[in-house]
Chain A
């Protein structure tokens, strides 16, 4: 519950969130709603607004209201495709706007009554809802045309934004009937199209946001300005959990343009007219911090502790048969341990939030990923009713999970600062890159140990997987939904659903007591479980004397979707064909967020002993492919994002202080390291699933397995850049 949140500046008056259940990899959160959070989004007397998602204006534009944030994943295009398909609109007449924050209208159907985006769930939860919204609008337009022409609805067709009386050839555009349709009652039931009749779903439509983003016209939070607005830059403690005990703000206040220096629970905020003065002022603060309650360990000490803990059994996440017994009788037993560092998300747009606080109102503009949490947290801090708060979701310059904070991170910070200056001026909080890299909310550090036994025929008879690391959701409103019998599902996902046919499996978990703030990072648990399971399977294949593809294939007979992507990627990559000398090829397959992805990586080793990934072939099964080109883009991007982390990245702490600060030491993937990528989509009629995250997990193990193929070295700790792969 929000009242329990550690970082909240003030406990919320309402216990509005109660995590209650979990289905698959998605979240289901129960929400105790106050009477009514916000009004419906459809203004009276405006354009034809048959439901909360579609507006058709007399000028013939069709506006789709997106309940999900667009931060690159292409969801505006996806949601609009679903509406336009059933509406039979012309793609050129489609516009997309962000829906207001309102969980009664715009909740994520796979989460319960909470509006938010995550877990690659946007298209999955919206697939029917958006199609119904489009189909309802279409039915009403047809009814309006039927009245207008005095012909039965069955004689009217709709195509590309035009209604036509088939017999007479009379035509009219959607916009011409907007007023008439607005006067009709929506039908109780609508029929959705047969997939064979799809004209847009499954075809390539242009992204709706390409032009504005190519021309510098897209507006992000950092671009927002309001009359009299001040920019705030915050000094936060150098160690997580530290507190400011004394502040000398004299030099900061002397900076031209600085208007206020205010202490907030998280640190000290400097406000100024413009970012540069605020940052200069922030950097001039002299603060004495009290670190007595702060985390003072280094990451190396934490990892050493994790290794000690791994010697003992943890809480059981999955148990089939008797893994230890099976290994006792195995012909061969293998063991391996894997180390994973903390990772920062580092979205291109640093965290930011604009707030305008009045006596009876609080208006927020930000890249809100969980609108309901941001909304209710802001209301709690501002001391206002939820209906007095408005959250405008703007385009965000990436997130990768960083903007989905259970305590409304930058929103709570901005509202707290606005309150500290009595709402005198609108406030824009902007984090610097250093604030971002050093600000916590990392992918947790993990240590995995795996042990498996093979019989005399090289068949896997037992598998034991132990995971040691921090819980992402403990102490947050998501705990009730995502911690089951003491197991944080986000720590073990991807490990406890190991797909391979192994009769005896034990997966156990130690949740560690570390206070570095952690968070979901694109693909969450699968960012480490895919690596350890798929790298270890490769070791087992070698020990069994089998080809890595054949070894996996034989154990996936009960998992046809895994098998299909595995075989497709292997075939397209030319698995088994010779490679130039010094090159290596590796394969991995993983299910995350109900999507199935296999990747084959081809690597070379440079003269300086570093890895160059030359080519990646990817196969994905995400059910009905709604926007194939967006799916390809998400696979390309997921591969690049995951590859950057695997090759280069670790956030490390020394004495509790983060050692990295910007892109020189937290190294992003650059174009010269981007491999050639081919993406193959498995045709499917299954319900669509997500693509924002599932491209990430397989790239690490595919590269690691390719490095082994090229060099004979197994990479069991990340990042790869810590290993010298130069051949003797």
Chain B
């Protein structure tokens, strides 16, 4: 039995100790906004926040996260999250959308840390998130837009 602090709630789950957080979130807890893309922390589709840090949930065992504060796309909130999601919709960033939960989680973590990132900051923070539709031009623009919204 593993106890996780997920989206502000204590959740007890039955899972083998090596089960990655991703599959506990998706298959045991039924939260499907966090996606599976590669299983090797190479694409970022599975990004969640662990104590505020963007973390690839496919490559970290759930059992190692007892006591940590885990937030998924379903519950991400706050000034940066509102700004990012508003900007994403305003600029119609998404195409297939599959990677976008992870993109949003990474962007929120970036802006929470650095509210006025330049292009290099964005590239550094976002290059772990792959988008095969290549929505990158708009991701970059939306992060700048979100930074503006946060100032207002």
Contacts and interface: CB of A to CB of B under 8 A. Distances in A.
B85 interface: yes
Contact of A662 (B27, B40, B132): B40
B126 interface: yes
Contacts of B89: 206, 210-211, 214
A74 B95 contact: yes
Contact of A210 (B34, B88, B134): B88
Contacts of A223: 26, 32
Contacts of A638: 134
Interface in A340-370: 346-350
A276 B138 CA distance: 34
B135 A637 contact: yes
Task: Find the residue from B32, B33, B85, B137 having the highest chain A CB count within 10 A.
Answer: B137
A644 interface: yes
A662 B38 contact: yes
A636 B97 contact: no
Contacts of B113: none
Contacts of A214: 85, 88-89, 93-94, 97, 100, 104
Interface string B79-90: 000000100110
A346 B33 CA distance: 20
Contact of A220 (B92, B95, B98): B98
Given A223-B32, A350-B37, A637 B43 contact: no
A240 B135 CA distance: 33
Contacts of A212: 97
A398 B96 contact: yes
B42 A72 contact: no
Nearest to B131: A348
Contacts of A209: 94, 97
Nearest to B94: A213
B115 to A, nearest CB: 19
B40 A398 contact: no
Given A225-B30, A398-B98, A669-B134, A433 B127 contact: no
A607 interface: no
B16 A276 contact: yes
Interface stretch (A308-316, A467-475, A671-679): A671-679
B45 interface: yes
A3 interface: no
What interface size band does chain B fall in?
Answer: 35 or more
A433 B135 contact: no
A349 B26 CA distance: 14
Interface string B1-24: 000000000000001100110010
A207 B72 CA distance: 24
B136 to A, nearest CB: 4
A674 B32 contact: no
A640 B37 CA distance: 19
B96 A349 contact: yes
Contacts of B144: none
Interface in A387-405: 395-398, 400
A551 interface: no
Nearest to A216: B33
Interface in A600-654: 629, 633, 636-641, 643-644
Given A206-B89, A276-B16, A662-B38, A218 B97 contact: yes
A72 B33 contact: no
A514 B49 CA distance: 47
Interface in B85-121: 85, 88-89, 92-101, 104
Contact of A348 (B23, B45, B124, B138): B45
Given A349-B98, A398-B98, A674-B140, A668 B93 contact: no
B94 to A, nearest CB: 4
A349 B37 CA distance: 6
Contact of B73 (A72, A216, A677): A216
B57 interface: no
B23 A275 contact: yes
A276 B57 CA distance: 13
A674 B35 contact: no
A633 B96 contact: no
Contacts of B140: 671, 674
A346 B97 contact: no
Contacts of B39: 432-434, 662
Nearest to A231: B27
A117 interface: no
A540 B92 CA distance: 41
B130 interface: yes
A96 to B, nearest CB: 14
11 contacts: A213-B94, A214-B85, A275-B23, A347-B96, A397-B98, A432-B39, A633-B92, A637-B133, A638-B134, A663-B42, A671-B131
Interface of A: 71-74, 206-207, 209-220, 222-223, 225, 231, 256-257, 273-277, 280, 346-350, 395-398, 400, 430, 432-434, 629, 633, 636-641, 643-644, 662-664, 668-672, 674, 676-677
The 9 A-B pairs of least Cβ separation, nearest first, read A640-B134, A216-B33, A397-B98, A213-B97, A72-B96, A216-B73, A72-B95, A674-B136, A223-B32
Interface of B: 15-16, 19-20, 23, 26-28, 30, 32-40, 42-43, 45, 72-74, 85, 88-89, 92-101, 104, 122-124, 126-127, 129-140
Given A222-B32, A348-B45, A676-B137, 12 more contacts: A210-B89, A214-B89, A216-B72, A274-B28, A348-B35, A348-B43, A398-B132, A433-B43, A633-B138, A636-B138, A637-B134, A662-B42
